[in-house]
Amino acid sequence: MTKLSLPRVNSITVVIPAFNEEERILPTLRRIDEYLKEHADNGEIIIVDDGSSDGTADVVLREAERLTGIRLLRNDVNRGKGFSVRRGVLSATRELILISDADLSTPIEEVEKFLPWIEQGYEVVIGSRALSESDIIRKQPWYRQSMGKIFNALVRVIVLGGFHDTQCGFKMFRSGPAKEIFEALKTERFAFDVEALLRAKKMGCQIKEVPVRWMNSPQSRVDVLRDSYRMFIDLLRIRALLR
């Protein structure tokens, strides 16, 4: 099978934030590792364990002994998805950085849709579940769909226009801009994507939103009421911070 034509040195870091993912992280690691070995010359996987209370870290460490190119970073306590992604990005050593959820709700193969845009000079490419060409294999429950639509509408009104879906957990950055964006990142929980994209836009980065295949996981870590309130407050903070 032909290798993907990644820019310049054909190297990629996959950053995976993980919280209590003992049951899901192993098949994810093996699938990504197999894909990178087949398609990239120089790949690595960084898992950031966000203070899990289960055996997530043990599973990753055992797999890292068997496979090369897997690194585990551990937060002493739960700090949030944004904090964990920031830590993973700043620890990445490859030319491209792909952020992926631990459940692989967007299959790793979807990265192939990003690469042509990277090759055209885009610094940031984000997956989207909300474009007409997006392929939603398993939908979220109606109340989560409603929450997502309301949040995206608030993002466009309060902080950042021009995007249909800021919260899909599948995003790619060129390493240089990514380090600058995430070094400055202040949002530690689920709204971090909005701040990262706003910082990228203010830096003058070219950003492309691309439709992806996506499947809802019934084990979502987002609490509809609690996290919706936190994310709304974070939007106000991001607006004040980067006004």
Predicted confidence at residue 219, as pLDDT, reads 62
Bridge partners of 136, per DSSP, are 214
Closest CA to 50 of 21, 11, 80: 80
pLDDT digits (tens, 9 = 90+) for 73-103: 999 999 999 999 999 999 999 999 999 999 9
The predicted-structure confidence for 129-185, as pLDDT tens digits, reads as follows: 989 899 887 776 666 677 777 877 888 878 888 899 999 999 999 999 999 999 999
Average pLDDT over residues 42-52: 96
CB neighbour class for 129 (10 Å; exposed up to 12, middle 13-18, buried from 19): buried
Residue 7 has pLDDT above 50, yes or no: no
Stated pTM of the model: 0.89
What confidence tens digit (pLDDT) does each residue in 186-202 have? 999 989 999 999 999 99
What pLDDT is recorded for position 9? 42
The overall average pLDDT reported for the chain is 89
- Sign of the C-alpha dihedral computed for residues 220, 31, 35 and 94 taken in this order: positive
How far, in Å, CA of 36 to CA of 48, rounded?
A: 19
Task: Give backbone dihedrals phi and psi of 30, rounded to 5 degrees, phi first.
Answer: -70, -40
Domains of the chain, CATH where assigned? 11-241 (3.90.550.10)
